[in-house]
Amino acid sequence: MRFFSFKKNNDNTNNLLKTTTERSRPTFHVLKIKDIKRETDESVSIAFELPEDLRSNYAFLPGQYLTLRTEIGGQDVRRSYSICSSPLNEDLRVAVKKLDGGVFSTYANSELKVGDELQVMTPEGTFTTSIDEKAARSYVAFAAGSGITPIMSLMKTILELEPKSTFTLYFGNRTTGSIIFRDEIDALKNRFMDRLRVNHILSREDQGSDTTRGHIDATKVKLFAERFFEPKKVDAYFICGPEQMIHTVKDTLGELGVAKENIRFELFTTSAETTNKQSNEKAQEVLKPKAENLSQVTVILDGEETHFELAYDGRTITDAATDAGADVPFSCKGAVCCTCRARVIKGEVEMDMNYALEPEEVEDGYVLTCQTHPRSSEVVISFDE
Ligand code: FES
């Protein structure tokens, strides 16, 4: 498990900065929408009212996300969105970009209104960093499209809390008009003139230079590194955007000698649907439904046990536990968000994919239950550990 710490002890009651890295079990609460702001033609940001008694539940680390849940067309829909606000004196706010055919994102962009209520899961996610007000660090971020969302939160918090650190952002978009948070980024640039550098890379607009035209790819990363930063001297890199872009930037930084532990990335557009489909196909391919491939599974949640029988087939612990009536936490079902994390207490299991757990967590017996299948006659899994 990665641990993060904030050395600044801010006692301003308006802030939501989480001061501990202890992970508590994600839980839903009903929150009222306080504000909806149109950020671009295709995206809105949504702020939530936080009743006093729930404020500590929603304290967060910059870079974390919320899972929103509601019923749309008779279906239980849940989606995760990164928090775009800083935990320092800002509302708890997420940004939602409308996707083609996106059930929740379309609903959020066209139907949601101030005063509506949504179920909101407590903040989750490990795309963050330790912050030390005495540190003089250099941060470089690569974002594309709505991948800027968690980076906004990180950027604002770091610039505010680490007065000696610098932040450089490479931000890819189609056109100037599609740049989400453009005004806010400009205002930050003016405020932190000597510590924040922002470079817009536009794929469908000519800014008069080949360097800033096109997509963030390996050539561009190498060019930026050659001209603007020394890859090995940067303390931390943040990458968020489409999967392909993340892998390209990560691999290129690796080629330039950047240590793996200095690169943090958040998979943003991995399609849970696609991934689940792939994992199910894979599982069905390798497993024959034989009588001996049956497991007695126990799931422990809030001290309560749910028992069910699960074949070694394509179904996951999350799906089977939900069907058995346990309200187990999940969100992306695509091995990305970590909401479904739980610990194996007994038995053997296998995960299809894992983009969210650290190697040490896996060693400690933690699994992503949305990717987990039993591999022994008895399996006990706890969400309480
Ligand atoms: S629900 Fe997101 S990783 Fe399992």
CA atoms within 13 Å, Cβ hemisphere of 175? 7
- The residue whose CA has the least distance to atom 3 of ligand 1 is 335
Output the pLDDT for position 291. 54
Question: Coil, strand or helix: which one is 56?
Answer: helix
Q: Which residue has the tokens 């800002």?
A: 90
Ligand 1 lined by 341 (C-beta under 6 Å) = no
CATH numbers and ranges of domains, the chain: 28-121 (2.40.30.10), 138-267 (3.40.50.80), 272-382 (3.10.20.30)
Instruction: Indicate the angle between helix axes 182-191 and 148-161, nearest 10 degrees.
Output: 20
Q: What is the mean pLDDT of residues 18-23?
A: 76
The CA 356 to ligand 1 mean position distance, Å, reads 8
Q: Is-contact 308 347, C-beta < 8 A?
A: no
The ligand 1 atom at the shortest distance from the C-alpha of residue 341 is 4
Residue 325 in tokens: 């009536």
Query: Using CA atoms, how far apart are residues 287 and 218, in angstroms rounded to an integer?
Result: 39
Query: Using CA atoms, how far apart are residues 102 and 7, in angstroms rounded to an integer?
Result: 40
The CA 313 to ligand 1 mean position distance, Å, reads 19
Query: Using CA atoms, how far apart are residues 40 and 30, in angstroms rounded to an integer?
Result: 27
Output the pLDDT for position 282. 35
pLDDT at 371 over 90: yes
The CA 333 to ligand 1 mean position distance, Å, reads 4
Ligand 1 lined by 336 (C-beta under 6 Å) = yes
Number of helices followed by number of strands (H, E) in the chain? 8, 18
Ligand 1 lined by 370 (C-beta under 6 Å) = yes
130's CB contacts (< 8 A; 6+ apart) are 4, 5, 6
The ligand 1 atom at the shortest distance from the C-alpha of residue 338 is 3
Rg (CA), the chain: 21
Q: 102-112 pLDDT, tens per residue?
A: 999 999 999 99
Ligand 1 lined by 332 (C-beta under 6 Å) = yes
Dmax over CA atoms of the chain, in Å, equals 67
Ligand 1 lined by 338 (C-beta under 6 Å) = yes
Query: Using CA atoms, how far apart are residues 281 and 174, in angstroms rounded to an integer?
Result: 35
380's CB contacts (< 8 A; 6+ apart) are 297, 298, 300, 344, 345, 346, 347
| Ramachandran angles phi, psi of 285, nearest 5° | -65, -45
Query: Using CA atoms, how far apart are residues 151 and 82, in angstroms rounded to an integer?
Result: 9
The CA 268 to ligand 1 mean position distance, Å, reads 13
| Ramachandran angles phi, psi of 68, nearest 5° | -105, 145
Q: 281-322 pLDDT, tens per residue?
A: 333 333 444 556 899 999 999 999 999 999 987 799 999 999
Query: Using CA atoms, how far apart are residues 211 and 201, in angstroms rounded to an integer?
Result: 8
Q: 203-222 pLDDT, tens per residue?
A: 999 888 888 999 999 999 99
Q: 170-207 pLDDT, tens per residue?
A: 999 999 999 999 999 999 999 999 999 999 999 999 88
Question: Coil, strand or helix: which one is 262?
Answer: helix
Query: Using CA atoms, how far apart are residues 127 and 247, in angstroms rounded to an integer?
Result: 16
